[in-house]
Chain A
């Protein structure tokens, strides 16, 4: 399974700094959460890690090869990204959309094999959309569309999963279903998972490590239980929080009175 590292990675959006000289190593089997306020640069960081935009300086390595040296199609077998926004300009069915995930595994002259179709079916099974294979994607609800995109990523079967807000549009049941599946991928098969999240509770329960993006490019990196404390989170979200002890550990809820 692939390992992703960054060396002295600096990313900027215009004048705003997302991270400064960040050193990060994502080992196989780890689940990383990226937390930060709106506009902190979570999406930009994920896009940079996936090679969609260049970094200001520094290097991203996948298995000790620079990301820029890996051909796009080969990279797509190592690393997949769930985007926050996809655009479907021309209608396609759910099955057709999920099958696009197989692209990195098929050469340009061939059609999808029965095996590819089987993989896509299984992916739809996992997100519980098996009964919607022939539906047009533009007729689905937001949550169903999100599950189609997740199924596409599962069909792509990369070694590293980058997920930009995997929970958006999903109801509670599917949030847990998807996160359980990702956790299982990391524990059973040693996939590396990196996801941006807005839910502190879910980050505590699913992530082994977190990356906190504060303002002005200041970041904190480390094991989840060390970094997710009240002081850090209050500062991160600029929002007073209450800490409540529970049987599953500390729970943070917003202090709405201050």
Chain B
């Protein structure tokens, strides 16, 4: 079996395993057999309710969100030619957060919350795109600086809202900012967006490989750089917007997963992007399972756990890779 097939197969198996763990673990523990029975039969039972109504939707949301963030992160890193780029670097999550916090302080319901978060994200995307496009050149440096400044601006507004907000909604706001899946509801559209993103990015993948070699090299090899960059920006931003709308700003997944895969699988984006989606899905799914069980019945924001799991694992991979380089 070739290396890419092997990698994708093991990631799919890991995803299934993560789902099984996530569906079994919780305040009411289920055996794998019970989970299977609940999944495959239609009889009304406690297990059936727990699996289908409580755990499966949440697991599904976690997986989709992780997948979206990882693809968005990988795309942003190539677009900005910056390994430190993450999905939030251009202010998409800032815009979403401001809108979400405002709707929380107005005491609006959950439907309004995700609606306004998505609207805030779109507003921020248009703002960054318009300001960095303007007249003249549209280059990654200008885009990066514009995005970072806009993100900083949103950050100030967020702090303003937090510091003037009454005590009651404050805890919910903080959870939202740290990334929290307890209100996520991706529905079918989340899956559709993820699959569409995979298809589009697969078509763009070879051009991404070339763009990673620099703008001029890409042009010389027949890539229309400007349209490609605009598509990357819009695609990555929309994926981020959808993810943020579900779960707030879950940190770390979008930054670290693409790098993990670059270390494991190389830099061919045709493999890197689908593999990142699966890995990101697994990471967020496992993190969320830990987040809701670690100090149950209390729940932790999932963003805390992604960092706890991701940081040491990433450092391990990095260390291993540099040691290998030192030897050869």
Contacts of B142 in A (CB 8 A): none
Within 8 A of B (CB), among A64-105: 72-77, 80-81, 83, 85-93, 96-97, 100-101, 103-104
B270 touches A87 (CB 8 A): no
Q: Given A52-B219, A86-B214, does the pair A91, B224 have CB atoms closer than 8 Å? A: no
A96 touches B267 (CB 8 A): yes
Q: How many A-B residue pairs have CB under 8 A?
A: 90
Contacts of A52 in B (CB 8 A): 216, 219-220
Q: Which one of A50, A89, A108 contacts B206 once the chains associate, using CB atoms below 8 Å?
A: A108
B83 touches A50 (CB 8 A): no
Closest Cβ neighbor of B74 among chain A residues = A90
Contacts of A85 in B (CB 8 A): 214
Q: Which one of B206, B213, B270, B328 contacts A88 once the chains associate, using CB atoms below 8 Å?
A: B213
A50 touches B220 (CB 8 A): yes
In the complex, the 9 A-B pairs of residues with the closest C-beta atoms, listed nearest first: A76-B222, A73-B222, A104-B222, A87-B214, A89-B81, A92-B267, A81-B220, A90-B267, A103-B221
A77 touches B222 (CB 8 A): yes
B266 touches A96 (CB 8 A): yes
Contacts of B213 in A (CB 8 A): 86-88, 92, 97, 100
> Using a Cβ–Cβ cut-off of 8 Å, how many residues does chain A contribute to the interface with B?
35
Please report the C-alpha to C-alpha distance between residue A87 and residue B212 in the assembled complex, in whole angstroms.
8
- The interface bits of chain A over 87-129 (1 if a CB of B lies within 8 angstroms of the residue's CB, else 0) are 1111111001100110110101101000000000000000000
- The interface bits of chain B over 258-271 (1 if a CB of A lies within 8 angstroms of the residue's CB, else 0) are 00001000111010
* Residue B325 at the chain A interface, CB threshold 8 Å: yes
B301 to chain A, nearest CB (A): 31
Closest Cβ neighbor of B205 among chain A residues = A108
Contacts of A111 in B (CB 8 A): 270
B55 to chain A, nearest CB (A): 37
* Residue A204 at the chain B interface, CB threshold 8 Å: no
Contacts of B217 in A (CB 8 A): 83, 86-87, 100
What would 14 A/B residue contacts be, using CB atoms closer than 8 Å?
A86-B213, A88-B212, A90-B78, A91-B262, A92-B213, A92-B268, A96-B209, A96-B267, A101-B221, A103-B221, A103-B223, A136-B325, A139-B328, A156-B221
Contacts of B59 in A (CB 8 A): none
* Residue B207 at the chain A interface, CB threshold 8 Å: yes
B203 touches A109 (CB 8 A): yes
Contacts of B241 in A (CB 8 A): none
* Residue B210 at the chain A interface, CB threshold 8 Å: yes
Within 8 A of A (CB), among B205-241: 206-207, 209-210, 212-214, 216-217, 219-224
